[in-house]
Structure 1
Amino acid sequence: MNAIALVIGNTNYKLEKHVLPNAAKDAIDVSEKLVNLGFTVDKHTDCDILEFQRAIQLFSAKRKKFAVGLFYFAGHGLQIKGKNFLTAIDTRFEDETAAEYSSCNLSMILDYMDTSTMSENSVNIVILDACRDNPWNLAVRSVNNHDLAPVFAPKGTLIAYSTSPGQTADDGEKGGNSIYAKAFLNHIDDEEIPIEDFFKRVRTSVYAGTNGSQTSWEHTSLIGDFYFNSRALNHSVNLPYEDYAIADQDFISDGSNLQEIILQMRTHDYYSQRPALKSFKSMNAVGNDNISDLFLIGRNILQSAHGGEGDAKKFMNSLSFSLPGMATNEENHVLNGILFEMYFNKQGRFRQEKFKNDFLDEIYSLEEDGLYPLSFNMIAEHVMPFKNYVFYKAGDKSVPIEVRIEDFEFMSIHRKLIVRPKLVSIKYKGKELMENGNEDEESEWNIRAIYFTDLKRLISKLLMIPLKKLRLSVNVNILDNDRITVPDIIRILK
């Protein structure tokens, strides 16, 4: 089963009294959870009306390829003339007519989702943290005195509201999540729970967390079962490999020579991994009947090398010599496994972070050889949905990244004022990627100085862009051997 989600959170409305401090954070946190559970996620925050409409149209076009579609909205909701509208940050609230024509009609969103389903068994889920009826209390998400009107869910659809008709919905403490989003995030990791039971747990938490003043509710016409946290939900539905190779946490050896080698490579013990890799290289393991095992061998070679095993590292450092001869019908399943392991975890789900990037340049140097087009086309297709997390996919040209460096003053451990050039910004297409730390906590203890050439390698790995494809523009003249101050830990905003 495969799933796609459109998540929108609007915080910075034009009028200060309409600002919702937590809505964008709700969208970000929900998106991360959904990605981890196997959804392909298109996330937007602070949408104006044009961006809102474009996001919905694009989502509808993509929806046709997926069995499950989910729409999540955090922001202000309106009822106008018996119809429900979800507001953009530039929605005009001076009167109902202006608001109606500068908001998104919920019925339109439901129609888009209903008409773009791939089959009668498709599932649509609509989650609205936007049922509001208090116009002046900034702790709730509302601008008028009418709660959202009841909506009947089309066949195969569940609509979840953060609160019951006539109630307000608490936005939560500033810097956190709304009461509803907090409950949603708390329970979504619960395993093998039918969606109806999942939302019952959410409702119980919301009711308890608000002392009974808020009760979420749902309307459903779902036919079959759906589970948010199910092993059937992964990102790799179109690969020609067995489930144990995709979600390799489930691997159990059948006793064959090749699977026993895989079992030894999975031990995290150098003294087992080294002879296992040697045995694999010496055997004639290529064939049409074991492509899943070859794929899994590739994954485990990268795992071993990433863990520091010497022979596996040598294998990865000499791929142009190691891989030829391992192809089956012009496709190299060992390389496919290596590429897959970089981006996907033991559950077959996209990593989001902690990519296995130690051999990024060595792997993508093969792309230039032109010998493995099927492998690089495969990984390009599988990372395509995660554009907010990966900035390069096979076949792309150079990737422009803007870096800003400024003089930085800090106090050494000997209480001496020191001035050094410091990395302050990393941007892609004008969007800031570098999470800002606490300036007050910056000292010699939590910053470090590295050469600019090492900074380029660091950015390459953080953004998963091969060094040869990374095109940096810097606001100052700087040489490769100049030292730059950087935070001890650099976090990338997704």
Structure 2
Amino acid sequence: MSRRLTALVIGNGAYEDASELENPVNDAEDVAAKLEACGFSVIKEIDCTAAAMDRALKRFKGELPDNDVGLFFFAGHGMQIEGENYLAAVDTDTAGEVEAKYSSLPLNRVIETMEKAATSTSITILDACRDNPFERAWHRSAATRGLAPVYAPKGTLIAYATSPGQTASDGHGRNGAYTAALLQHIATPDCSIENMFKRVRNTLSAATHGKQISWEHTSLSGEFYFNLSLGARIDDYSDSALSDGLFVPDEAKASHRIIKALKSLTWPVQNPAIDGFLSDIANKASLDSLFVLGRNIYQAACGGSNSAIAYLSDFAARTQAAKPEKRKALLDGMLFEVFFDPKAKLRKDFKTRRFEDLFALQQHKNLSSSFDFITECLLPEAGRFYSTPGRKHPVVVDVATTPDSAANTYRLKSIHCGGTSIMWLEDEDYAVEPGEIPNAEKMTIAKFEARLAEQMAVPSHLLTINYLSFDKQAHERILFPYGWTVRKR
């Protein structure tokens, strides 16, 4: 069940004609991070001028047609003028209502943009009901402060930080009171959007002693969940296959007997079982059984079973006679085993010992659906990766070294990806005093590149390594300091 989700997140705090708001930038940063963790592609804009907000909305408009769900989040000053809502840019002209109206972003324009894109679900979240000093300067009545209720087209939910006509707190911590409550609940697994906002309302009311009550206007016709648990998102396999610690082998089934043999963790039992696993057995097995079998084949390969390693390396040929859906289930299971434990929870340390052999299969077009599967499984955890595994996104790293006294040997100085240094001390026992040269492991250039690919979880066919200090000839040696890594923190 693939979800295509996009969001535009804006946080305006550095207002030119009003006192600076402390929280909106943090609100936007933190909401964007949560949405990315839930699988959204996010356009994030901070302290926008009116022109910048206009450009951001046009860019968002271009993204919407290719997505099922569109979300707009704004934190900053908002106001209603003649019954219409406007979101203030940092350079909004506050001399009067007319000036403000034509130098702000009309909320109705946002809603109409999302409506015409025909996404199945449109979500607008506004932490923009703060008490505006320029509204007070216009000598307006309290009834015209805050934001006005608006029409929600079909498939739309509009969420306000407080009830219409009321104003909201900017908060006393890192986030506004409303956004703080939203961040607490938005990623709750398998919680529908309506129930999530009820939780936000309860938390916000408790935090503000009942002074601020959030409000939503909805015309959603279907269910939406920000964070679907793995079992809810992946409907190809049962919970007992995904959480294979719950899987109980049935001795009457040939595929289950192989699984049992692989679980023995002894090569003399594992090897003949894999050698006897032929396509006719696969074609008679259920998808769940093959998924679990794939997990155990990869586990056996990582454990050193020669037959499992050979099966993995020759997977495309060994499974050629298997039905496409059976072949896919086997490979899905292998890929899943790399990243998920027996409880279907993301591993702290990925099982990457045979990662390169496994992901070399990505180059076979007829196996691409399995790599789409693992990408979907990992989307909510995209922050754990330099590039989400399964996607064919190239990654480039730059390696800086200094020459060592030994010929053709270079001491590793730094590794950069995306302009950021990615080397860090993983094991504090190897820490050295300032100026002291750390102990290092000498390795061939091939071993060094394999280590980078494994630790970064990026297959070598997608990883480009630039050496800044020498021209690679393949006979160089690299001194890699003990205790250091390039794993994503």
Cα distance in 2 between the residues matched to 1:391 and 1:468: 13
Cα distance in 2 between the residues matched to 1:435 and 1:147: 48
1:111 maps to 112
One-letter amino acid of the counterpart of residue 27, structure 1: V
- The correspondence of residues 49-448 of structure 1 with structure 2, limited to 5 A, is 49=53, 52-63=56-67, 66=68, 69=69, 71-79=71-79, 81=81, 82-86=83-87, 92-95=91-94, 104-117=105-118, 122-135=120-133, 146-164=145-163, 165-174=165-174, 177-188=175-186, 190=188, 193-228=191-226, 234-236=232-234, 241-244=236-239, 247-248=242-243, 252-253=247-248, 255=250, 256-258=252-254, 260-261=256-257, 264=260, 270=265, 275=269, 278-284=272-278, 285-287=281-283, 290-306=286-302, 309-311=303-305, 315-316=308-309, 319-321=312-314, 324-327=317-320, 328-329=322-323, 332-333=327-328, 334-342=330-338, 355-367=350-362, 372-376=364-368, 378-380=370-372, 383=375, 386=379, 389=385, 391=387, 396=392, 399-403=395-399, 422-423=413-414, 426-428=416-418, 432=420, 434=422, 443-444=431-432
Cα distance in 1 between the residues matched to 2:221 and 2:244: 31
Indicate conservation of the 8 Å contact 2:76/2:130, yes or no.
yes
Cα distance in 2 between the residues matched to 1:147 and 1:102: 18
Cα distance in 2 between the residues matched to 1:262 and 1:77: 63
In structure 2, do the counterparts of structure 1 residues 292 and 24 end up closer, same or farther at CA, with 3 Å as the change threshold? same
1:380-439: CA deviation from partner (whole Å, max 9, x where unpaired): 5763895874537779585433456799xxxxxxxxxxxx8642x6233x5x474999xx
In structure 2, do the counterparts of structure 1 residues 283 and 393 end up closer, same or farther at CA, with 3 Å as the change threshold? closer
In structure 2, do the counterparts of structure 1 residues 11 and 226 end up closer, same or farther at CA, with 3 Å as the change threshold? closer
Question: Alpha-carbon deviation of 1:57?
Answer: 2.1
Question: Alpha-carbon deviation of 1:287?
Answer: 1.0
Cα distance in 2 between the residues matched to 1:25 and 1:397: 25
Question: Alpha-carbon deviation of 1:244?
Answer: 4.6
TM-score (norm: length of structure 2): 0.70
Cα distance in 1 between the residues matched to 2:102 and 2:372: 39
1:239-273: CA deviation from partner (whole Å, max 9, x where unpaired): xx444587445964473525634764796x625x9
Cα distance in 2 between the residues matched to 1:135 and 1:406: 58
Indicate conservation of the 8 Å contact 1:450/1:486, yes or no.
yes
Cα distance in 2 between the residues matched to 1:455 and 1:99: 59
One-letter amino acid of the counterpart of residue 375, structure 1: L
Question: Alpha-carbon deviation of 1:375?
Answer: 0.8
| Structure 1 or 2: more helix by fraction | 2
Number of equivalenced pairs: 440
One-letter amino acid of the counterpart of residue 169, structure 2: A
Cα distance in 1 between the residues matched to 2:181 and 2:131: 21
Cα distance in 1 between the residues matched to 2:189 and 2:453: 36
Cα distance in 2 between the residues matched to 1:249 and 1:103: 54
1:470 maps to 463
In structure 2, do the counterparts of structure 1 residues 318 and 115 end up closer, same or farther at CA, with 3 Å as the change threshold? same
Question: Alpha-carbon deviation of 1:166?
Answer: 2.2
Question: Alpha-carbon deviation of 1:184?
Answer: 2.8
In structure 2, do the counterparts of structure 1 residues 335 and 274 end up closer, same or farther at CA, with 3 Å as the change threshold? farther
Aligned residues: CA RMSD: 4.7
In structure 2, do the counterparts of structure 1 residues 58 and 325 end up closer, same or farther at CA, with 3 Å as the change threshold? same
* Local SS of the residue matching 2:283: coil
One-letter amino acid of the counterpart of residue 208, structure 1: A
Indicate conservation of the 8 Å contact 2:244/2:292, yes or no.
no
1:141 maps to none
Indicate conservation of the 8 Å contact 2:240/2:247, yes or no.
no
Cα distance in 2 between the residues matched to 1:395 and 1:52: 26
Question: Alpha-carbon deviation of 1:23?
Answer: 2.3
Cα distance in 1 between the residues matched to 2:399 and 2:88: 35
One-letter amino acid of the counterpart of residue 53, structure 2: I
Cα distance in 2 between the residues matched to 1:110 and 1:293: 47
Cα distance in 2 between the residues matched to 1:265 and 1:211: 61
1:60-81: CA deviation from partner (whole Å, max 9, x where unpaired): 1122xx4xx2515253242353
1:46 maps to 45
2:30 maps to 26
One-letter amino acid of the counterpart of residue 94, structure 1: D
**Runs of at least 5 residues in structure 2 that lack an aligned partner in the other structure:** 47-51, 135-143, 404-410
In structure 2, do the counterparts of structure 1 residues 393 and 78 end up closer, same or farther at CA, with 3 Å as the change threshold? same
1:125-168: CA deviation from partner (whole Å, max 9, x where unpaired): 333333323359xxxxxxxx942332232233322223334222
Cα distance in 2 between the residues matched to 1:109 and 1:150: 15
One-letter amino acid of the counterpart of residue 62, structure 1: D
* Local SS of the residue matching 1:299: helix
Indicate conservation of the 8 Å contact 1:27/1:43, yes or no.
no
In structure 2, do the counterparts of structure 1 residues 488 and 297 end up closer, same or farther at CA, with 3 Å as the change threshold? same
Larger radius of gyration: 2
Cα distance in 1 between the residues matched to 2:215 and 2:433: 50
In structure 2, do the counterparts of structure 1 residues 117 and 451 end up closer, same or farther at CA, with 3 Å as the change threshold? farther
Indicate conservation of the 8 Å contact 2:448/2:478, yes or no.
no
In structure 2, do the counterparts of structure 1 residues 362 and 201 end up closer, same or farther at CA, with 3 Å as the change threshold? same
Cα distance in 2 between the residues matched to 1:366 and 1:167: 56
In structure 2, do the counterparts of structure 1 residues 76 and 192 end up closer, same or farther at CA, with 3 Å as the change threshold? same
Identity %: 24
In structure 2, do the counterparts of structure 1 residues 262 and 207 end up closer, same or farther at CA, with 3 Å as the change threshold? farther
In structure 2, do the counterparts of structure 1 residues 207 and 375 end up closer, same or farther at CA, with 3 Å as the change threshold? same
In structure 2, do the counterparts of structure 1 residues 41 and 18 end up closer, same or farther at CA, with 3 Å as the change threshold? same
**Runs of at least 5 residues in structure 1 that lack an aligned partner in the other structure:** 35-39, 137-144, 408-419
Cα distance in 1 between the residues matched to 2:6 and 2:61: 11
Cα distance in 1 between the residues matched to 2:176 and 2:29: 9
Question: Alpha-carbon deviation of 1:31?
Answer: 2.2
